[in-house]
Structure formats: structure tokens, C-alpha cells
């Protein structure tokens, strides 16, 4: 990292590169976390660098990122940056392809299907799906854990969120279509318009049309059977029945919007949750004795209450929940969150004022906030107990707010403010149900004995070579 160049008295310091246009794209691509930490160390919490001709300004740490999280979408805007990538995958009429107030209502509707009441139904669905999946593993073996999680979570999430009919019809063709659609989230999509005929873009577009047709058939079947309000607990039902409140003249969603949102929400949760589950098992296997403690917790919970798995069981598993939160701290799937400044944007941190000009790309990083030594003690150590506090002799799971150290945005794996994740509770529930079911049935260890390296080449930081050796427990029910 060279130089310390200021554009105007209050502009963030610029990390100058000797390579014009490309700037720090290579360094950021190869070791983004270390690069950002080094820049913070040298330039302070707010700085700018160039990547492929774009100046990117990062605001790191609780104090410097606070205004980012609190900003209105008209000032720091999401769709200016995300639309080109997401619209071809999710379709028109939803998410970043519509004005923010419409997307806000769509998220509000989704939240109605992601309540504690519905979670009761989801818990046993996820346990059953997990059991069906792991039945195929046999008594022992080795596999790439991330691959297994990615496959399994499509089933658990589809069943909970898209409904039973979609799950029953989920076959190899549907999996291939999702794969092609997902292939649309390639780095090419950041730099080229959606219509360029790259093979991956063409596959993406075909998959989009085909998946929408499939959803269309299920929606039509539900409408025809007249059972729209028959107590179903999935998101499809909610989107089909709940009208917009303050926008679009209070109409209900079109089939196209319903299908698009179902695709979007599955994709928002699928890689994120499978990555977290894989890192969780990887961390747990590297801390001596932790897997045994988790297994003990499972046995106790099921001694107190007989199965199947329920929300009440999960209340008896605080250590498992704390492991999920600690994994989300050290390996948040979304490393950076971006906005376009539609107005000049001023940030104050560490006694300085930074004037970020209108038009800039402004970013924050959950990964960096969550591993700063001024926010966390011993930040690089996996210690789930930091998320537990004792109340009346019992462990209660926190988000780290009870700790004396750190600011308000030290733990932000699901973002914060207007764009905060609506799948926050569901994702944690899904991961806890899956991991609970796995460790009750299998003993697991990492084939290499070492924590896998981080794969920086994927948009979500997945584990590289997460090979896990598994062995069925004598008490297993599969």
C-alpha cells in the first residue's frame, strides 16, 4: 500500500495505486480482509481506493459505519448498485427492480411468514428433511461438507418457504435450473449489462423462465383448488393472499411477483446458510471438546422433552445457538455491503470528519467490524461463550451487547437499518435445527484436522476443502 493522498481537506485518504484503473482489484480479490485491515491500520477507519476504475470508500468499525447503517435509501442507495445483477435472476417487479417503498412492503409481507408461530411448523419440517437427507450417508465416510449442506438446505428452505407441493416436485431438473440461475451471480454481472450473450447469462435467462413456469403451475393449482387460506405456513401462501398496503393501489401480488420473490428469498438464504453451517462444523471440530459439549446439550434437551425437534428443544440448546452466532462473527457470509451515495455524505469517526462526494460507492464490512481488536477481546479466537450470559443460573444467548467492549455495530452479520436481513431469525433457526439433527446422529471430524482456508473467489466466503469424516452414532435414529 503506497502513499497517503488527500482529495480536498476533508476527503477520505486515498490508498494510491501504481496501477491505473485496475488499482487494488487484485489485492482486494486475493485477500480482502487483510487488505482492509491493513488500510484501516494505515489510513484510519474511512479511506478510498480504486478497483477497475471505480473509487470505493470503506467505513470500518462501529463508529465509522454507524451513519451508513442509519441512512435512508434515497441518500445511500442499494438498487443503483444491485439492480443490474439481481433483476435478471429474480425478475422484474420485485426487490431492487422496484422503488424502495415497494420492496419494503414486499419484505414486510415476507416477515408475516417468518414469525415465531410459523417457526413451530418449520422446526419439525427441517428436522424431517435433514433426517431424510442424511439417511443416504450410510454408517461412515468422508465428504465435502459444504457441498452436502448446499444440497440439503435447498430442500429444507424450499419446503418451509415455498411449500410442500414445490418441495415434492423438486427434482434433479429443478436443482440444475437453480444452479444455472445462481450462475448469473458471476463477477461478469458487475461489469457487463444483463443482455451480453455470455453463455452463463444465457443459461441464467433460460433457467429463470423455466423456474417461473414451474412456480406458475403450483400457484395456479393452489388458486384453482380454492384452498388458498387452508392454514398453509409457507411464504407462497402469504405472497398470494396478503395485499400491498400503502403502494400499488392495495392490490395483491401478480403470479410473476410471487414467483420472483420466492426465488429471491431462497437464494438470499441458501448459500449464506450452507456456508455458515459448514464453517460452524469446521470451527466446532477444531476446538477440543466442543463437539462433545454440544452433543451432551442435545442429549439433555431430548431427555427433558421427547422428540420431534421443537422450538422448546432449541431453547434448551444455548451453546448451539452461541456457536451459530460466533460462526457468524468470524465468518459472516456477506463480507461487504455497498451503496451508491446519491448526495454528499459526511462521516465522523475518531475525531475526524470525512466528506464523501455524491456518486461514490460507499461500503461497510461486517467481517472487519466483527474482528477488530477494539470491538472484541481476542477477536480471532472461536469462543461461543462470549455470546452467553448467565441469568438465574441459566445461559441466555446474546448478540454480544452485554460485553463491556465494542460499539453498536460490532456484530452485524445480517446488516442493520433499512436493509437489515428479514431472514435473520429463520436462518438461525434453520442452521440450529440442521446441526442439532446432524450431531445427534453422527460424530464428525475434519479430515485434515485443520480449519479450512477461506475461498475468496466466491461472492460468499465458503470453506475450501471442508472435508469431514463422519461416523454414525450408536444412538442414531437414521
Contact residues for ligand HEM (CB under 6 A)?
Answer: 78, 107, 265, 268-269, 272-273, 276, 332-334, 337, 413-415, 419, 421-423, 426-427
Nearest distance in Å: CB 60, ligand HEM: 15
By beta-carbon proximity to ligand HEM, the closer residue of 107 and 432 is 107
Nearest distance in Å: CB 296, ligand HEM: 26
Nearest distance in Å: CB 398, ligand HEM: 18
Nearest distance in Å: CB 61, ligand HEM: 17
By beta-carbon proximity to ligand HEM, the closer residue of 78 and 341 is 78
By beta-carbon proximity to ligand HEM, the closer residue of 15 and 364 is 364
Nearest distance in Å: CB 68, ligand HEM: 9
By beta-carbon proximity to ligand HEM, the closer residue of 62 and 273 is 273
By beta-carbon proximity to ligand HEM, the closer residue of 91 and 423 is 423
Nearest distance in Å: CB 235, ligand HEM: 7
3-state secondary structure the chain: CEEEECCCCCCCCEEECCCCCCECHHHHHHCHHHHHHHHHHHHCCEEEEEECCEEEEEECHHHHHHHHHHCCCCCEECHHHHHHHHHHHHCCCCHHHCCHHHHHHHHHHHHHCCCHHHHHHHHHHHHHHHHHHHHCCCCEEEEEHHHHHHHHHHHHHHHHHHCHHHHHCCCHHHHHHHHHHHCCCCCHHHHCCCCCCCHHHHHHHHHHHHHHHHHHHHHHHHHHHCCCCCCCCCHHHHHHHCCCCCCHHHCCCCHHHHHHHHHHHHHHHHHHHHHHHHHHHHHHHHCCCHHHHHHHHHHHHHHHCCCCCCHHHHHCCHHHHHHHHHHHHHCCCCCCEEEEECCCEEEEECCEEEEECCCCEEEECHHHHCCCCCCCCCCCCCCHHHHEEEECCEEEECCCCCCCCCCCCCCCCCCCHHHCCCCHHHHHHHHHHHHHHHHHHEEEEECCCCCCEEECCCCCCEEECCEEEEEECCCCCC
By beta-carbon proximity to ligand HEM, the closer residue of 425 and 443 is 425
| Residue whose CB is nearest to ligand HEM in the complex, by number | 423
Nearest distance in Å: CB 412, ligand HEM: 7
Question: Is 285 labelled a binding residue?
Answer: no
By beta-carbon proximity to ligand HEM, the closer residue of 37 and 362 is 362
Strand bridging mode 140-144 / 76-77: unpaired
Task: Pick out the residues of the known binding site.
Answer: 421
Pick out the residues of the known binding site for heme: 421
Amino acid at each position: 500500500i503506497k502513499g497517503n493522498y488527500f482529495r480536498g481537506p476533508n476527503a477520505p485518504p486515498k490508498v494510491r495505486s501504481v496501477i491505473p484503473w485496475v488499482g487494488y482489484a487484485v489485492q482486494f480479490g486475493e485477500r480482502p480482509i487483510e487488505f482492509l485491515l491493513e488500510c484501516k491500520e494505515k489510513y484510519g477507519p474511512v479511506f478510498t481506493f480504486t478497483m477497475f476504475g471505480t473509487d470505493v470508500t470503506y467505513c470500518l468499525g462501529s463508529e465509522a459505519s454507524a451513519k451508513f447503517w442509519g441512512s435512508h435509501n434515497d441518500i445511500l442507495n442499494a438498487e443503483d448498485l444491485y439492480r443490474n445483477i439481481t433483476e435478471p435472476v429474480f425478475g422484474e417487479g420485485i426487490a431492487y427492480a422496484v422503488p424502495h417503498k415497494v420492496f419494503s412492503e414486499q419484505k414486510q409481507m415476507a416477515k408475516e411468514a417468518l414469525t415465531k408461530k410459523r417457526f413451530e411448523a418449520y422446526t419439525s419440517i427441517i428436522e424431517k428433511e435433514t433426517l431424510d437427507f442424511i439417511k443416504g450417508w450410510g454408517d461412515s465416510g468422508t465428504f465435502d461438507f459444504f457441498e452436502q449442506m448446499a444440497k440439503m438446505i435447498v430442500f429444507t428452505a424450499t419446503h418451509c418457504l415455498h411449500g410442500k407441493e414445490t418441495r415434492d416436485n423438486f427434482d434433479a431438473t429443478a436443482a440444475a435450473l437453480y444452479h444455472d440461475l445462481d450462475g448469473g451471480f458471476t463477477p461478469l454481472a458487475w461489469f457487463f449489462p444483463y443482455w451480453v450473450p455470455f453463455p452463463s447469462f444465457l443459461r441464467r435467462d433460460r433457467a429463470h423462465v423455466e423456474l417461473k413456469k414451474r412456480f406458475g403451475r403450483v400457484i395456479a393449482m393452489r388458486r384453482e383448488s380454492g384452498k388458498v387460506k387452508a392454514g398453509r405456513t409457507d411464504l407462497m401462501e402469504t405472497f398470494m393472499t396478503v395485499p400491498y398496503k400503502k403502494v400499488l393501489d392495495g392490490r395483491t401480488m401478480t403470479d410473476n411477483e410471487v414467483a420472483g420473490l420466492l426465488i429471491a428469498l431462497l437464494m438470499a438464504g441458501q448459500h449464506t446458510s450452507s456456508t455458515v453451517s459448514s464453517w460452524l462444523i469446521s470451527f466446532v471440530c477444531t476446538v477440543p471438546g466442543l463437539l462433545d459439549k454440544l452433543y451432551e446439550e442435545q442429549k439433555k434437551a431430548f431427555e427433558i422433552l421427547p422428540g420431534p425437534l421443537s422450538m422448546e428443544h432449541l431453547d434448551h440448546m444455548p451453546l448451539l445457538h452461541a456457536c451459530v452466532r460466533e460462526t457468524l462473527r468470524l465468518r459472516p457470509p456477506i463480507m461487504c455491503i455497498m451503496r451508491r451515495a446519491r448526495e454528499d455524505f459526511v462521516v465522523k469517526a475518531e475525531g475526524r470528519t470525512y466528506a464523501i462526494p455524491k456518486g461514490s460507492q460507499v461500503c461497510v464490512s461486517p467481517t472487519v467490524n466483527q474482528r477488530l481488536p477494539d470491538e472484541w477481546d481476542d477477536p480471532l479466537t472461536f469462543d461461543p461463550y462470549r455470546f452467553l450470559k448467565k441469568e438465574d443460573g441459566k445461559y441466555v444467548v446474546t448478540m454480544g451487547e452485554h460485553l463491556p467492549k465494542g460499539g453498536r455495530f460490532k456484530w452485524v452479520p445480517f446488516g442493520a437499518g433499512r436493509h437489515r436481513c428479514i431472514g435473520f431469525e429463520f436462518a438461525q433457526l434453520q442452521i440450529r435445527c440442521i446441526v442439532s439433527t446432524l450431531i445427534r446422529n453422527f460424530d464428525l471430524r475434519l479430515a485434515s484436522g485443520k480449519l479450512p482456508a477461506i475461498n475468496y473467489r466466491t461472492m460468499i466466503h465458503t470453506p475450501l476443502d471442508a472435508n469431514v469424516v463422519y461416523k454414525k452414532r450408536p444412538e442414531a435414529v437414521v
